[in-house]
Amino acid sequence: MTALAAAIAIGLAAFGASIGNGMIVSKTVEGIARQPEARGVLQTTMFIGVALVEALPIIAVVMAFILNGQS
């Protein structure tokens, strides 16, 4: 049962991260289309945001392994 809960937690974290990454990238492309001269700043901010969003599934995997090992 713990393995199923861990799999669901990992899946939901990955789903949420994919939606977040899609929103980040789409808004960055929209911003670059509006102001092409700000491309460098927007891309840097986008990469920082994507890295922060990608930390969520990694944390979920670690927590799932920890909780799965405790049972």
Q: How many domains does the chain have?
A: 1
User: What is the reported pLDDT for 44?
Assistant: 96
Rounded to a whole number of angstroms, the CA Rg of the chain reads 16
Residues of the chain with pLDDT under 70: 71
* Domain enclosing residue 63, as ranges: 1-69
What pTM was computed for the model? 0.81
CATH number of the domain at 32, please. Answer: 1.20.20.10
User: What is the reported pLDDT for 1?
Assistant: 83
Closest CA to 53 of 24, 27, 31, 28: 24
Please say whether the beta carbons of 18 and 60 come within 8 A.
no
In the chain, count H helices and then E strands: 2, 0
User: What is the reported pLDDT for 71?
Assistant: 58
Per-residue model confidence as pLDDT tens digits over 43-61: 999 999 999 999 999 999 9
